[in-house]
Structure 1
């Protein structure tokens, strides 16, 4: 762990994620029609009732669930819980008709408005940032093969200790976050460091569920990406690394074979590099 980074408590990380959700996304719920809310709420409750009947749930188990749900709210961990165990299915349904690049979950740690890197295409990072240098490069095209000049490539990821800027103390605000503009041929080059696998917070209510169920808490190392261009659908995805112990054992069930990178050593041996192209569907 870097000397200026303190492990964030689940409650503090959860509070940050909850605050970010209300700032960026909560307003979209108001647009859901009454009929749709009625349908979905009834079916979810029906599924809960069916589970209770099928497995003869006891009052002790019911009260344990009630205590756990209250704890999730007190810890501010609803964004974490939903993004880890539910979002991957929502993403699958939302993008099932697309022909372009595969998407994946956004997760709870996205922050809009990341600056364009001031030093060419090198993400903001601390002096002597831990981790293996990584050159991530590629091209953004339409499904018809046309290069998308000026496409925006947003990238954010955890540091070598598994922590995200703005969600853990002691990390500069925009560390390892940036928004890169592709050139006239749709090409981009991003210099960063390869992230490490990490465990989701385990000292809160989500951790209690993991321990009680005998699960692991690990996510494979990944780069978060949002790629966009006028007239095309935004692609939100995560890119993983071959050889990672948890690439096929992700607690968030977010890995797809098309999203696994295989970086190679750079010519000077000082780091690794990988090329990955994005294909966007027309809007």
Structure 2
């Protein structure tokens, strides 16, 4: 393992994820929030917790352990990690149930807007001799009628061969393996990168304590992250996985869908190559 891995901590990653979320996202409980909706959702969540306590005869010792753990999640800055790993996949499923185009999945905690712009044929920013199997990822962006979406934007980000993300672990260049690719007039793109590795979510913080106490594993399968957008169309957030990869069947974040699994094949130059097209729904 590299020095980078030994110095990356859950606390640092969690703090970065929390800071990024607060800077980039807006909440739903500020001025103008639907009071009736908040009342319904909050009441049902609290009632569900009450039911679990009654059904399992939760003791004060267990209650206090939960209380202590919830406090530590906040202190570690791991609420984005906890929610994105165990909750977001259901929110995504419900929010996009009527989508006719390509399948989406969770965003996760490691998205950063404003990555460097790249042309339709591009290489993601990476270090000299970046570790990992070279990968050529190409395809086309269309609407649901099959018409190309000229100039569609594909924001890509991924972990490196050590399972670490730029801006969330020390010692990695700011925009490493992050880029914003602008498709050509036919909506086509071709991106050279490296195939990412499976990785464990941070386990030295509060989420790791839950994983250990429950006897779960902490692994996510290797994946590419993408946000695909075009004017007049609903943006798509997704992750693409790799056929035969570890933890495809038991992703801790429950984010894998059959439609999102890639099967790269060796090209003439030895680089893994795969084609994957995106279909965007019209904006509602």
SS at match of 1:22: helix
Residues 190-244 of structure 1: CA deviation (Å, up to 9, x unaligned): 1100000000000000000000000000000000000000000000000000011
SS at match of 1:134: strand
Paired residue for 1:15?
15
Unaligned ranges ≥5, structure 1: none
Residues 131-154 of structure 1: CA deviation (Å, up to 9, x unaligned): 001000000000011010000011
Cα RMSD over matched residues? 1.4
Paired residue for 2:280?
280
Paired residue for 1:80?
81
Cα distance 1:4–1:88, how it changes in 2: closer, same or farther (>3 A)?
A: closer
Paired residue for 1:242?
243
SS at match of 1:227: strand
CA distance in 2, matches of 1:131, 1:22: 32
Q: CA deviation at 1:26?
A: 3.5
Q: CA deviation at 1:252?
A: 0.1
CA distance in 1, matches of 2:27, 2:90: 22
Q: CA deviation at 1:7?
A: 3.7
Q: CA deviation at 1:120?
A: 5.1
Residues 14-48 of structure 1: CA deviation (Å, up to 9, x unaligned): 00000000001144542531111111100000000
Q: Using the TM superposition, name which of 206-215 and 118-127 deviates more.
A: 118-127
SS at match of 1:121: strand
CA distance in 1, matches of 2:121, 2:173: 19
TM-score, normalisation: structure 2 = 0.97
CA distance in 2, matches of 1:178, 1:28: 29
Paired residue for 2:33?
32
CA distance in 2, matches of 1:91, 1:29: 19
Query: What does 1:1-283 correspond to in 2, within 5 Å?
Result: 1-2=1-2, 6-30=6-30, 31-117=32-118, 121-269=122-270, 271-283=271-283
CA distance in 1, matches of 2:19, 2:223: 24
TM-score, normalisation: structure 1 = 0.97
CA distance in 1, matches of 2:118, 2:131: 19
CA distance in 2, matches of 1:199, 1:168: 14
Contact 2:119 2:183 in 1 (8 A): no
CA distance in 1, matches of 2:105, 2:7: 26
Runs of 4+ with deviation above 4 angstroms: 2-6
Cα distance 1:131–1:242, how it changes in 2: closer, same or farther (>3 A)?
A: same
CA distance in 2, matches of 1:138, 1:120: 11
Contact 1:117 1:124 in 2 (8 A): no
